């Protein structure tokens, strides 16, 4: 060949030697500087100029194995690209996609429920974490994960009315679900539409108060609407079997494909409550409470075995398992396998994990419930309390006594039934203790309407719990208030009366800010009027503050909270508890109880805003205001100090406190008690509460361990984090940016001045392409709209983004790029349709690793997919050394691959013999087949029982529905008028049985496992010392 003759010709297809994903056709050739330069049009349409040495001829697509055998290695980018792509599009069953992919602060334990849910067959779980651990977030993780696997088309969240907005906000802000709040009539309309065959799906939040209704229950039973996912918040509301709340949850649960229950109530086996709740979620699991308890007893050794395996006491675990005698356990293949394993030698952590997993699977209860306690996650903040003892001035005392006497007098006059919840009387008594000037201001005002005064008291407060829901008589309340107004006007009020409480508050605030410059303080009052008064007064005296009451809508609240969190010059937030319900204020560490609620649960909820996961301060200071010689002061010392609420969380005792508090309230108000008598009445209440608290603690101790022991999930989560079986921030950044650089170079992501914040120019072309791609996948969603809104925010089309969840959580104005962001979906979709851009083999180098000595290695990543009753899809990594030996365990191999992701670099490889490549490839294939066979065997063992269980549930579910219709038929058949509907009912039965048959057939077909394995990525690694 003469010197001027090029190796490649115009029109030939070539690719780059190092970046093997760059493939294109030669357009023209130029000879310059003694080199042949080729103008090449790439597959993505771009032109590149490349010199001859960097090119090689491209022959049609070859399998990864072929590529490996020919030592066709690409660069680091190709390595990262194909692995990230596989993770993002693969739907691997043990890679949680939602991990670190929502706007939440990362708390590992919050993923435990998700893992449980992912591994469960029936997708029903009760999350029974203690208060302040973020159950809503745990539910959000599950929702996000399930949605990423198979889009959730219909969702129903049922929660107390006061939490409706919180749910809407959290789901939208943190998890990008836009959920509509609906009422009863809207829900009925949905049911009616559904009946008429309208397929519009429901994606809503509804309160228990709205949905619990006889008509709704009947209609659901009649229509049987299919709902993908249901969440029952504060599920203890449904604990009472006779209540409507119980019935509605039961009916809705029957319709749902997946269901989550959330409660913070102590888990007590002894109580019927737990059984009732679990039965709603899992109607076919246990028939009677007796049966439930019986099974719990039988299951005990399994739980103990899990515990022992977790502690590496395998002989004890074996003993535990050998105690089991029931057929249910002993005949199961998993049992036999586990016992066999336990008798042998257990060495690797994989083996331990597998044992844990199998034993957990043996347990009958593990999949039903998850509970994390505060001490499990070491909430480190200590509660410290301070009491500001205030002596009223003579004038203040006079006014206080006047009101107290007036109320007692009135109270003794009304009849007994109404007493407990007599709003019109109870509130003024507490208000006078809260803030005298605020009270005078509104009651003495002649212009204010009585309704308004009432509303200023209530702050939308409704006692939501059905059980305590006495009927309120608004007219009566108005009358009472009117009388009181008159009474207050008649007392001679000294307008310039000093405000002793306020004076103390200022002193306290000064001390707080003197000790900690950036301390944020939360001041609580029960009353809106007090909040307004304090806010205005403090502001006028230079204490910048925000106030939140029910007068603020949720958007206003959000703005305030974001500002309060981020602005340094505003350190005080004044709020009523109702409007702060569900807010996370973990960045505050001082709470001021300007007035004291009489119910310990209300106090606990106030403190719970701060004393929750994420609290960084070691001490939470609680400052209580108590005026000497008032009921509040006595409640403080006799009740709150005794039950130690200011020392540690008392947990959610609401369901077991029962009526104790309302009885106490009633007694304190109605009877003309002397201070000593008041004290003893309060002490009595405290004793009851302490006793109940202890009882609950004791029962909990016995029960929680009995139900479930979650060692497997803890260890599995550790493994996921260690092996990076999720997409890390950095990985996602590289994944996106490599794509942008190759295809939209002017849109590449650039760092900004701030750490973790990036900027990106979004060209109209890119925006259009994203829109088109999402339209094709019909997945235009709220996250997309938010994205386009942000693009249009500035003329220069530059957006600011972050991949860091914590930063996104704190800085709401940043675009958060997670695994589900439209731009990520766009890129993944691009690779799906342009598979040539993914090259499977790479050559890498890395500077030292703790896992492996210096030298040359080969890596292989195989994808295993086995579909039966469950779908199992995994990545399995194999590392082989230059002596053709397998060198690392499966999980260590995964760790090495993740290290390479972070620290690996491209490496040029000198040619090696194809013969050796062949030998290495064979070794890898052999190992992969071995692992795949093992996995298949394992799944085969459990598949039959999984299928049978699914069939059983299906059968019971449909039989139940059909039975009910049959019952209706038998009821109406002799009623000539109603009998007309019989044909329609029969039609329904036919439809249900058809549905059942189809579904049965579908499940049956999964008895035979559908198996496949394929090599995703392979290559060579040089570890340099």
Partner 1 sequence: MRINVGLDFGTCYTKVAFFDMEMEKHYFFVFDKSKDNLGRYVFPSKLRINSDGRIFFAANKNMAFGGDTYYEFFKINMENTIRTLKINDKEYDIDDYKIVALYCSHILSKVRKYLNSKFDGPDLIFNFGIPLDHLGDNNENRERKFKLAFNLAEMMSRDHFIENADEVLEFLPILDELEREYNKIKKEELKVTVYPETIAGVATLLSTGSLSADVRYSIVDIGAGTTDVSFFEFTRNSIPGGKFHVYNSNTYNVGSENFVENDVDKSIKELRDSFRVAFGKTFSLAKEKWSNDFHLLFLGGGTRGDLREFTKNTEITIPSGNLFRNYINPTPQELYIPDNIVDCIDKEEESWNENFDILSIAYGLSYPKMMMPKYNPQVPERQRDVLRQTPEEPLTPDVG
Q: Which of residues 314-373 bind partner 1 (CB under 8 A)?
A: none
Q: Which stretch binds partner 1 (CB under 8 A): 160-168, 327-335, 738-746, 992-1000?
A: 738-746
Cβ 82 to partner 1 shortest distance, Å: 19
Cα–Cα–Cα angle for 896, 900, 902, rounded to 5 degrees: 120
**What ranges in 811-907 are assigned the alpha helix state H?**
822-833, 890-903
Does 5 engage in binding with partner 1 (CB under 8 A)? no
Closer residue to partner 1 in complex, CB, 440/762: 762
Per DSSP (E only), the strands in 398-464 are: none
Give dist(CA 904, CA 731) in Å, integer.
Answer: 12
To partner 1, the closest distance from the beta carbon of 804 in angstroms equals 19
Which span sits near partner 1 by CB under 8 A: 29-37, 132-140, 239-247, 516-524?
Answer: 29-37
Applying CB under 8 A, does 937 fall inside the site for partner 1?
Answer: no
**Interface stretch with partner 1, choices 97-105, 111-119, 706-714, 745-753 (CB under 8 A):** 745-753
- For residue 479, state whether it binds partner 1 (rule: CB under 8 A): no
Site string for partner 1, 41-60 (x = CB under 8 A): ---xxxxxx-x-xx------
- Taking CB under 8 A as the rule, does residue 31 contact partner 1? yes
Q: Any contact of residue 741 with partner 1 (CB under 8 A)?
A: yes
CB of 48 to partner 1, least distance (A): 4
Which residue from 264, 747, 774, 1013 is in contact with partner 1, where contact means CB under 8 A? 747
Q: Is 763 in the site for partner 1 (CB under 8 A)?
A: yes
- 3-state SS, residue 198: coil
Query: Residues binding partner 1: what is the number (CB under 8 A)?
Result: 33
Tell me: does residue 834 bind partner 1 (CB under 8 A). no
If the CB atoms of residues 31 and 772 are measured against partner 1, the closer one turns out to be: 31
CB-based contacts of 445, cutoff 8 Å, min separation 6: none
Helix (H) or strand (E) holding 253: helix 244-255
Q: Check residue 886 and report its DSSP letter.
A: B
The CA distance from 797 to 791, in Å, is 5
327, exposed or middle or buried, with CB in 10 Å at 0-12, 13-18, 19+? Answer: exposed
Q: How far apart are the first and last CA of the chain?
A: 43
What is the rounded (10 degree) CA torsion for 685, 686, 691, 692? 70
Q: Which is nearer to partner 1, 454 or 798 (CB)?
A: 798
Cβ-count burial of 401 within 10 angstroms (0-12 exposed, 13-18 middle, 19+ buried)?
Answer: middle
Pairing type for strands 871-881 and 855-867 reads antiparallel
145: three-class secondary structure by DSSP: helix
Say how far apart CA 128 and CA 143 lie, in whole Å.
17
Nearer to partner 1, 262 or 747 (CB): 747
Among 33, 185, 569, 976, the residue binding partner 1 under the rule CB under 8 A is 33
Neighbour-count burial of 944, counting CB atoms closer than 10 A to its CB (0-12 exposed, 13-18 middle, 19+ buried): middle
| Of residues 691, 602, 580, the one with CA closest to residue 652 | 602
Does residue 37 belong to the site contacting partner 1 (CB under 8 A)?
yes
Of the listed pieces 301-309, 377-385, 655-663, 742-750, which binds partner 1 according to CB under 8 A? 742-750
The nearest distance, CB 817 to partner 1, in angstroms, is: 18
Is 18 among the residues that bind partner 1 (CB under 8 A)? yes
Contacts of 556 (CB under 8 A, 6+ apart): none
Which residue's CB is nearer to partner 1, number 529 or number 747?
747
What SS3 state is found at 541?
A: coil
Which of 59, 76, 21, 19 has its CA nearest to residue 1020?
Answer: 76
Residue 906 as a binder of partner 1 (CB under 8 A): the answer is yes
Q: Which one, 44 or 313, has the nearer CB to partner 1?
A: 44
Question: What does the DSSP assignment read for 268-300?
Answer: -TTSHHHHHHHHHH-TTT-SSHHHHHHHHHHHH
Tell whether residue 39 is a contact of partner 1 (CB under 8 A).
Answer: yes
Cβ closest to partner 1, residue 49 vs residue 89: 49
**Residue 3 or 417: which CB sits closer to partner 1?**
3
Cα 950 to Cα 996: distance, rounded to the nearest angstrom: 12
Q: Which of 66, 322, 409, 746 binds partner 1 (CB under 8 A)?
A: 746
Smallest distance, Å, CB 75 to partner 1? 8
Residue pair 573/520 in contact (Cβ under 8 Å)? The answer is yes
Out of 21, 65, 75, 396, name the contact with partner 1 by CB under 8 A: 75
Residue 29 Cβ vs partner 1, minimum distance, rounded to whole Å: 11
Selection from 336, 315, 313 nearest residue 324 by Cα? 336
Residue 35 near partner 1 by CB under 8 A: yes
CB 80 within 8 A of CB 901: yes
Q: Which of residues 371-400 bind partner 1 (CB under 8 A)?
A: none
Q: Which stretch binds partner 1 (CB under 8 A): 7-15, 36-44, 568-576, 1004-1012?
A: 36-44
| 150 touches partner 1 by CB under 8 A | no
Q: How far is the CB of 32 from partner 1 (least distance, A)?
A: 6
- Residue 304 zone, left/alpha/beta (φ > 0; ψ -120 to 50; rest): alpha
- The answer to whether residue 793 forms part of the interface with partner 1 (CB under 8 A) is no
Is residue 2 a contact point for partner 1 (CB under 8 A)?
Answer: no
The mark string for 688-727 relative to partner 1 (x by CB under 8 A, - otherwise) is ----------------------------------------
Helix axes 675-707, 660-670, angle to 10 degrees: 180
Interface residue with partner 1, options 479, 765, 782, 975 (CB under 8 A): 765
Radius of gyration of the chain (CA): 33
Among 7, 13, 17, 184, binds partner 1 (CB under 8 A): 17
- Tell whether residue 32 is a contact of partner 1 (CB under 8 A): yes
Distance CA 316, CA 304 (A): 9
Residues that bind partner 1 (CB under 8 A): 4, 17-19, 30-35, 37, 39, 44-49, 51, 53-54, 75, 741, 745-748, 750, 761, 763, 765, 906, 908
């Amino acid at each position: 060949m003469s010197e001027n003759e090029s190796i490649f010709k115009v029109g030939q297809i070539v690719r780059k030697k190092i970046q093997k994903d760059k493939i294109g056709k030669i357009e023209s050739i130029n000879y310059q500087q003694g080199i042949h330069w080729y103008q090449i049009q790439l597959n993505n349409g771009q032109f590149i100029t490349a010199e001859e040495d960097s090119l090689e001829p491209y022959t049609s697509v070859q399998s990864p194995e072929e590529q490996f055998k020919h030592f066709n290695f690409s660069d680091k980018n190709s390595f990262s690209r194909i692995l990230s792509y596989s993770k993002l599009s693969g739907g691997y069953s043990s890679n949680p996609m939602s991990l670190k992919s929502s706007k939440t602060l990362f708390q590992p334990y919050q993923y435990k429920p998700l893992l449980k849910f992912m591994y469960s067959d029936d997708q029903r779980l009760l999350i029974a974490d203690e208060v302040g651990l973020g159950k809503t977030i745990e539910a959000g993780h599950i929702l996000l994960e399930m949605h990423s696997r198979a889009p959730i088309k219909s969702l129903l969240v049922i929660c107390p009315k006061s939490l409706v907005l919180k749910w809407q906000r959290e789901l939208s802000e943190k998890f990008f679900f836009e959920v509509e709040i609906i009422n009863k009539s809207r829900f009925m309309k949905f049911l009616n539409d559904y009946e008429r065959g309208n397929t519009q799906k429901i994606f809503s939040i509804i309160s228990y108060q709205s949905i619990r209704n006889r008509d709704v229950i009947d209609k659901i039973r009649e229509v049987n609407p299919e709902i993908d996912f249901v969440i029952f918040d504060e599920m203890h509301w449904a604990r009472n079997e006779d209540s409507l709340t119980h019935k509605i949850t039961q009916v809705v649960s029957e319709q749902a494909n997946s269901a989550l229950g959330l409660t913070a109530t102590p888990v007590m086996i002894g109580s019927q409550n737990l059984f009732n709740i679990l039965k709603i979620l899992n109607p076919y699991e246990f028939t009677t409470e007796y049966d439930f308890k019986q099974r719990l007893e039988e299951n005990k050794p399994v739980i103990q075995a899990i515990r022992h395996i977790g502690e590496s006491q395998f002989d004890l675990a074996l003993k535990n398992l050998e105690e089991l005698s029931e057929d249910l356990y002993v005949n199961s293949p998993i049992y036999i396998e586990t016992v066999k394993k336990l008798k042998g030698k257990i060495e690797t952590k994989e083996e331990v994990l597998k044992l844990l997993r199998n034993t957990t699977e043996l347990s009958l209860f593990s999949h039903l419930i998850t509970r994390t306690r505060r001490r499990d996650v070491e909430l480190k903040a200590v509660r410290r309390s301070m009491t500001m003892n205030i002596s009223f001035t003579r004038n203040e005392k006079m006014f206080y006594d006047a009101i107290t006497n007036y109320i007692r007098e009135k109270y003794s006059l009304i009849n007994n039934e109404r007493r407990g919840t007599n709003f019109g009387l109870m509130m003024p008594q507490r208000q006078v203790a809260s803030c005298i000037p605020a009270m005078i201001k509104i009651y003495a005002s002649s212009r204010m309407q009585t309704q308004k005064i009432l509303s200023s008291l209530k702050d939308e407060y409704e006692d939501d719990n059905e059980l305590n829901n006495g009927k309120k008589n608004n007219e009566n309340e108005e009358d009472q208030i009117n009388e009181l107004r008159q009474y207050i006007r008649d007392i001679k009020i000294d307008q310039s009366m000093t405000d002793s409480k306020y004076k103390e508050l200022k002193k306290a605030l000064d001390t707080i800010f003197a000790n900690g410059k950036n301390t944020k303080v939360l001041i609580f009052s029960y009353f809106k009027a007090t909040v307004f008064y304090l806010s205005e007064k403090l502001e006028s005296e230079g204490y910048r503050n925000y106030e939140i009451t029910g007068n603020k809508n949720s958007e206003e609240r959000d703005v305030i909270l974001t500002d309060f969190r981020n602005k340094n010059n505003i350190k005080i937030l004044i709020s009523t508890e109702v409007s702060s319900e569900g807010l996370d204020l973990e960045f505050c560490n001082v709470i001021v109880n300007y007035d004291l609620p009489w119910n310990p649960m209300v106090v606990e909820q106030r403190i719970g805003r701060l004393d929750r996961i994420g609290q960084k301060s070691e001490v939470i200071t609680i400052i209580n205001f108590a005026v000497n010689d008032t009921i509040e002061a006595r409640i403080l010392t006799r009740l709150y100090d005794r039950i130690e609420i200011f020392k540690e969380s008392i947990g959610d005792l609401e369901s077991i406190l029962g009526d104790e508090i309302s009885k106490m309230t009633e007694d304190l108000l109605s009877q003309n008690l002397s201070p000593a008598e008041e004290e003893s009445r309060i002490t009595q209440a405290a004793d009851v509460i302490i006793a109940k608290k202890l009882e609950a603690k004791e029962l909990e101790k016995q029960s929680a361990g009995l139900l479930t022991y979650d060692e497997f999930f803890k260890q599995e989560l550790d493994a996921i984090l260690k092996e990076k079986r999720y997409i890390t921030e950095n990985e996602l950044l590289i994944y996106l940016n490599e794509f942008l650089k190759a295809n939209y170079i002017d849109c590449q992501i650039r760092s900004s001045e701030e750490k973790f914040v990036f900027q990106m120019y979004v060209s109209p072309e890119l925006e259009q392409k994203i829109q088109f791609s999402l339209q094709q996948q019909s997945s235009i969603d709220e996250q997309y709209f938010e994205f386009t809104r942000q693009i249009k925010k500035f003329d220069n089309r530059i957006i600011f983004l972050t991949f860091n969840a914590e930063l996104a959580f704190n800085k709401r104005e940043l675009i958060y790029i997670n695994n589900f962001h439209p731009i990520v979906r766009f890129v993944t979709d691009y690779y799906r349709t342009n598979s040539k851009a993914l090259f499977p083999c790479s050559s890498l180098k890395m500077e030292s690793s703790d896992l492996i000595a210096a030298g040359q290695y080969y890596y292989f990543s195989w994808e295993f997919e086995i579909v039966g009753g469950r779908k199992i899809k995994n990545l399995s990594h194999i590392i082989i050394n230059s002596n053709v030996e397998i060198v690392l365990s499966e999980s260590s191999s995964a760790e090495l691959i993740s290290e390479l992701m972070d620290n690996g670099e491209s490496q040029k490889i000198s040619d090696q013999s194809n013969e050796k490549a062949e030998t290495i490839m064979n070794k890898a294939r052999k190992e992969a087949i071995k692992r795949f066979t093992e996995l298949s065997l394992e799944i085969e063992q459990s598949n039959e029982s999984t299928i049978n269980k699914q069939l059983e549930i299906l059968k019971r579910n449909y039989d139940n529905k059909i039975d009910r219709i049959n019952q209706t038929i038998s009821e109406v058949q002799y009623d000539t008028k109603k009998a007309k509907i019989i044909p329609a009912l029969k039609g329904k039965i036919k439809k249900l049985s058809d549905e059942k048959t189809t579904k049965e057939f579908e499940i049956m077909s999964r008895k035979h496992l559908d198996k496949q394995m394929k090599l995703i990525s392979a290559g060579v690694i040089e570890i340099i010392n």
